[in-house]
Amino acid sequence: MKPTVFHYPAKLEGEDIPLVRFHEVTKRYGDLVVLDSLDLDVAEGEMVAIIGPSGSGKTTVLRMLMALEKINDGIIYVDGEPLTHMSRNGGLVWADEKHLRRQRLNIGMCFQHFNLFPHMTALENCIEAPVQVLGMSKADAIKRAEELLDMVGMLEKAHEHPSRLSGGQQQRVAIARSLAMRPKVMLFDEVTSALDPEVIGEVTTVIRKLVHKHNLTMLMVTHQMGFAKEISDRVCFFYDGKIEEQGPPDQIFGNPKSERTQQFLSAVLEAN
């Protein structure tokens, strides 16, 4: 059986290509359409907040970009290169596992439930992939991991196992672990949703630091409207697998055009 050949551009070129591009991306689970022909560009250094009701496809966007699941249609580019596809015989075909693994190096992801490796200390969590995947020497990896743990305020706990850390502390280690791979894009998937209210601040402080000091490109799915408003360059409101409305935070939160956005925001504000 010959693989299907796609005729998307094999490379995005030009001055102002986006760091991330979703082009007509569709994701289905059986009959359920989770992402419906999504177009989304993220510029380098941009912080995009993704909000919306549950089931609107916002987490799916991150999972597709991390290549944890395959898309059904369309194409995703990262830094001009296809992520979901690869070049073969003058066209593009669906990416194989090897291509995906290489492309994933560009992307880091933090999860709602942290997903630290429980049998490794905080430091070991942070050096595992740099040593095994990037081939860094152990000494270099440790040095870098210690800098990052220091940056997230967790250097003192470097030799603790995750079970001895609070949720907020685990999430900060998880952020350091992702950064250790030097990704071009960081994804935050509801990173404060599983945390007790009093420790949310320690995680948002770290993310704030990343935005202001390190100018990292980020996509953040969140339920914290206040934080999204404060920190993001752009807010995307998802509804039914599509971007219902997007714009600068002042516009989305201050003067939303779409009725659905208005309804969602007033419902969220009421709940708080």
- Interface ranges with another protein (CB under 8 A): 66-68, 101-102, 104-105, 107-109, 111, 113, 115-121, 128-129, 132-133, 161-164, 177-178, 181
**Whole-angstrom Cα distance, residue 99 to residue 82?**
10
Task: With beta carbons less than 8 A apart as the criterion, state whether 157 and 187 touch.
Answer: no
- Reading the block at residue 35, the tokens are 């992402």
Write down the least CB distance from residue 105 to another protein, Å.
Answer: 5
- For residues 100 and 211, which CB has a smaller minimum distance to another protein in the complex? 100
**Over the range 142-169, which residues count as b (16 or more CB within 10 Å of their CB) and which as e?**
bebbbebbebbbbbebbebbbeebebbb
Write down the least CB distance from residue 109 to another protein, Å.
Answer: 4
- For residues 43 and 120, which CB has a smaller minimum distance to another protein in the complex? 120
Instruction: 262-271: list long-range contacts, CB under 8 Å, 24+ apart.
Output: 264/51, 264/52, 264/53, 264/237, 264/239, 265/225, 268/223, 268/225, 269/225
- For residues 49 and 174, which CB has a smaller minimum distance to another protein in the complex? 174
Residues in contact with 143: Cβ distance below 8 Å, sequence separation at least 6, in sequence order: none
Write down the least CB distance from residue 233 to another protein, Å.
Answer: 24
Write down the least CB distance from residue 161 to another protein, Å.
Answer: 3
**Whole-angstrom Cα distance, residue 105 to residue 111?**
17
Q: Which of 244, 256, 248 is nearest to 231 (CA)?
A: 248
Write down the least CB distance from residue 169 to another protein, Å.
Answer: 14
Write down the least CB distance from residue 245 to another protein, Å.
Answer: 29
Write down the least CB distance from residue 111 to another protein, Å.
Answer: 6
- For residues 65 and 225, which CB has a smaller minimum distance to another protein in the complex? 65
- Tell me the DSSP string of 38-77: EEEEE-TT-EEEEE--TTSSHHHHHHHHTTSS--SEEEEE
Within a 10 A sphere around the Cβ of 178, how many other Cβ atoms? 21
Q: Which of 94, 99, 92, 88 is nearest to 6 (CA)?
A: 92
Write down the least CB distance from residue 127 to another protein, Å.
Answer: 11
- For residues 168 and 256, which CB has a smaller minimum distance to another protein in the complex? 168
- For residues 173 and 206, which CB has a smaller minimum distance to another protein in the complex? 173
**Whole-angstrom Cα distance, residue 163 to residue 84?**
36
- For residues 25 and 110, which CB has a smaller minimum distance to another protein in the complex? 110
- For residues 37 and 112, which CB has a smaller minimum distance to another protein in the complex? 112
- Reading the block at residue 55, the tokens are 């089931």
